[in-house]
Amino acid sequence: MAEGGYQVIARRWRPKQFDELVGQDHIVRTLKNAILRKRIAHAYLFVGPRGTGKTSTARIFAKALNAEGGPCVSPDDSSRTARDIMAGSCMDVIEIDGASNNSVDQVRDLREDCQYAPSQCSFKIYIIDEVHMLTAAAFNALLKTLEEPPPHVKFIFATTEAAKLLPTIVSRCQRFEFRPIPDELICKRLGEIALSERIDVEPEALKAIARLANGGMRDAQSILDQMISFCGEKVAESDVMDVYGLAGSASLRELAAALAAGDYPAIMAAVDTLSAEGRDLFRVLGDLAERARTAMLDAIANGGRSRLLGRDMGTESLLRMQEALHHGAVSVQRGLSERVSFEIALFRAVEASRVRAIDEVIRELSGIADRLPAAEAEKKTPRY
């Protein structure tokens, strides 16, 4: 990119300080305390979904450890070292892509390089992204160095698939779990970005973007960037729906109500409309399942019944509906006809919500049977 060229929102708004990280307060607090109390480990493992801040946190932590005057929780962003670290060009903060540097020979080179002191910083820090892509031989070559590295070396591993890591690697690291970022925090951050960029974005559009991002801030910022390119200075919910094939909240509410009522004609009419508008039917099923879950939680909190779907439904019915929608999503994604699989999934959700478990029926019959003798005895009791 040429000097002064456009830089995407996800890069321009990348966190530069711990306090700018969104939705990972538990990790920020732990790392800050480690720096303040001088309890800095030699290896860290950052685990979590994509776009939740793993690499950004690794860079901020590396910058904090190599701050001028010693480790500091709020390093000076204007210093050359800080700028180089955040740009990924610092000689002593080495970022490695585990997917393309996963051979045993490359890890042996890294192990030899560890022995040399840092050239301009206090610590030599290795940030290995997608570390689960390393081969078993590469992991084994790293084990001894990872367990007893030189005092000037720190390792920070990042991965989206911790289950693929060797237990011997995990046991030598301090593990941090990065959580999916809640939609409300994503909406708040996107609102701040839009205000700074002088872009008018409808609150419902922000909610739709957050829903699409599925807990990832980077994904949300990329979607917002694309919507600004598409819409210009004003982004409406309908624009997001059209670009990404989402169903509007009103359409979802009406379809959920039709499912709860078992109104097949209304369901078919809704399917026709969604299909004609080019909506992503897989996402529609996911949104419906989320609405069923919300209603189920409401039922649990209110004595086992909920009317959030427009009809009085019990916990078990909502659970069965939600389960059928989840199973249907797999068929929609892999089936021969997306629309046919979508219709079948909706019909099965209706039928599943009406099925009653045999144990519930037995409980009800037992309750009726227990009340009958008492009722008969009351009838036979003479009244004066």
Identify the weakest region by mean pLDDT among 12-26, 94-108, 179-193, 262-276.
Answer: 94-108
DSSP result, 48-79: -STTSSHHHHHHHHHHHHT-TTS--SS--TTS
Q: What is the CATH number of the domain that holds 198?
A: 1.10.8.60
Q: Is the pLDDT of residue 56 over 70?
A: yes
Residues 200 and 222 reside in one and the same domain:
yes
Residues 82 and 227 reside in one and the same domain:
no
State pLDDT tens for residues 11-43. 899 999 999 999 999 999 999 999 999 999 999
Residues 136 and 209 reside in one and the same domain:
no
Higher pLDDT, 355 or 102: 355
**Which of 244, 268, 288 is at the close of a domain?**
244
Mean predicted confidence (pLDDT) in 219-242: 92
Mean pLDDT across the chain, nearest whole number?
87
CA 106, CA 59: separation in Å to the nearest integer? 22
How many Cα atoms are found within 13 Å in the side-chain-facing hemisphere of 176?
Answer: 24
Q: Is the pLDDT of residue 378 over 80?
A: no
DSSP state of 150: -
What is the separation, in whole angstroms, between the first and last Cα of the chain? 99
Q: What is the CATH number of the domain that holds 72?
A: 3.40.50.300
Residue whose C-alpha is closest to residue 173's, from 198, 149, 207, 138: 149
State pLDDT tens for residues 290-303. 999 999 999 999 98
- Residue 201 domain flag: yes
State pLDDT tens for residues 166-190. 888 899 999 999 999 999 999 999 9
CA 164, CA 159: separation in Å to the nearest integer? 9
Residues 23 and 149 reside in one and the same domain:
yes
State pLDDT tens for residues 318-331. 999 999 999 888 88
- Residue 369 domain flag: no
Domain around 64 = 9-177
Q: Can you state the angle between helices 25-36 and 54-65, rounded to 10 degrees?
A: 20
- Residue 1 domain flag: no
CA 201, CA 190: separation in Å to the nearest integer? 9
Residues 227 and 264 reside in one and the same domain:
no
State pLDDT tens for residues 118-131. 888 889 999 999 89
- Residue 113 domain flag: yes
Domain count along the chain: 3
Q: Are strands 93-97 and 313-314 parallel, antiparallel or unpaired?
A: unpaired
